[in-house]
Amino acid sequence: MSKKILLWFFYALLLFLLVAAAILLVPMRKQLADDSRELNRQRQIEENRRIEANKLESEVNALQNDPDAVEKIAREKYGMAKDGETVLMVPGKK
C-alpha cells in the first residue's frame, strides 16, 4: 500500500471512531444530566423529611415534658376546657 492510501485509511478510521464516540456519548451525557436532577430531587426530599422528623421529635419531647404543651393541644385540637370554663367555637377558624 502506498503512503497516500494508508494515510487516507487512517483519517477515515479516525473519523469513524470520532463519530462512533459522539453517538455513544451524547445519550450518556443526557442520562447523566437526568440522573443528576433526580439525585438533587431525592436529596431535597430527604432534607424535607429530616426537617419534618426534627419538628415531630421536638413536638413529642414537648408533649412528654411540658404540661402546657399538652394543655395547648387539648384545647386547640380537641376543644377541651378546664372545669368551669366555656369553650367558644368560631366557624371557619382553626
Residue with cell 450518556: 28
Dist CA 59 CA 70 (whole Å): 10
C-alpha cell at 47: 432534607
In this predicted model, what pLDDT tens digit does every residue of 24-81 receive, in sequence order? 888 888 889 999 999 999 999 999 999 999 999 999 999 999 999 998 888 888 878 8
Dist CA 41 CA 47 (whole Å): 10
Comparing 11-15, 49-53, 89-93, the range with the smallest average pLDDT is 89-93
Check residues 47 and 89 and name the one with the higher pLDDT. Answer: 47
Domain membership of residue 37 as a residue range? 3-78
Q: Residue 52: is it exposed, middle or buried by C-beta count within 10 angstroms (0-12/13-18/19+)?
A: exposed
In a domain, 94, yes or no: no
In a domain, 89, yes or no: no
For the chain, what is the domain count? 1
The pLDDT value given to residue 1: 65
The pLDDT value given to residue 3: 85
In this predicted model, what pLDDT tens digit does every residue of 15-25 receive, in sequence order? 999 999 888 88
